[in-house]
Amino acid sequence: YFILIASPHSMISGWVETELDTAINLEVKGKLSILVIMYKHCEIHPLLTGKLYIEYKGSVEEVAKALLDAMQPSIIKQFGRHRVVDFGGKGGSVNFSVSESGVPQYDIIFNIPRKTSYAGIFWEPLSGSFNAKNYDTLTWQMCGESQSSRFQIKIETKNGWPEKRIPFKKRSGWNIYSISLLDLKEGDLACIERITIAMNDTDCGQDVVEQKFSIRSFNFSRLKKRNSV
């Protein structure tokens, strides 16, 4: 979904115009749907005629709930990216897409400018629990530029959920890490507060000043379970 919050100010924003043009092209290709939320009455793009989904006549909470309900069976209602922040300096980017199987995924590119610096991925659930019955794994793939580079991935949590550290070393191809949702109790995934990627100063060569790496297909997936014998 591409959700446009329409108001007299937003509709004259150059950034909104650019994003809207991209969304319209993707909708033509069948890759997303545009929903228009009329926050304050204003003129909208001619191609958006008939796409008005909500007008703010009730409370903000009621409108948000109606919007989330309409997105089912999307995973967005259960677990949505609240914000993604690149702490590593300039050059970072975030893209959201939906795979052919309908699974949400995020393409995130970070730039770490020097040793001991870090980048953080933050997200918060839109509701208090995650339905592991629909999705079995949270998977991400990592790739770095230098074969000698080494990073640490730290999953930080709240409410006392155990912390896990995963070392990353560049190998041929992608490096794949995952969390099995089936091993978690209800609501455990919602306790994850931040993933921090740090450059390990002791494992980097003297010539390493800047490193770029990317996380791709940061997504939820459904595994085929083996039948027990």
Same domain, 109 and 64: no
Split at pLDDT 50, 70, 90, the class of 227 is very low
Contact in structure between 217 and 139 (CB atoms under 8 Å): yes
* Domain assignment present for 118: yes
Q: What angle (nearest 5°) sits at the alpha carbon of residue 98, between those of residues 81 and 88?
A: 45
Q: Which residues contact 200 (CB under 8 A, 6 or more apart)?
A: 150, 151, 152, 167
Same domain, 103 and 211: yes
Same domain, 14 and 119: no
* Domain assignment present for 84: no
Domain final position from 71, 101, 127: 71
The mean pLDDT value of the chain amounts to 55
* Domain assignment present for 212: yes
Domain range holding 138? 93-221
Q: What is the pTM of this model?
A: 0.33
Split at pLDDT 50, 70, 90, the class of 76 is very low
Same domain, 57 and 123: no
Euclidean distance between CA atoms 52 and 73, whole angstroms: 21
* Torsion angle (degrees, nearest 10) of CA 4, 31, 82, 183: 150
CATH number of the structural domain spanning residue 133: 2.60.120.380
Contact in structure between 184 and 149 (CB atoms under 8 Å): no
Same domain, 28 and 66: yes
Same domain, 11 and 57: yes
Q: What is the pLDDT of residues 166-214, one digit of tens each?
A: 444 444 444 555 656 556 555 555 555 555 555 444 444 444 444 444 4
Number of domains in the chain: 2
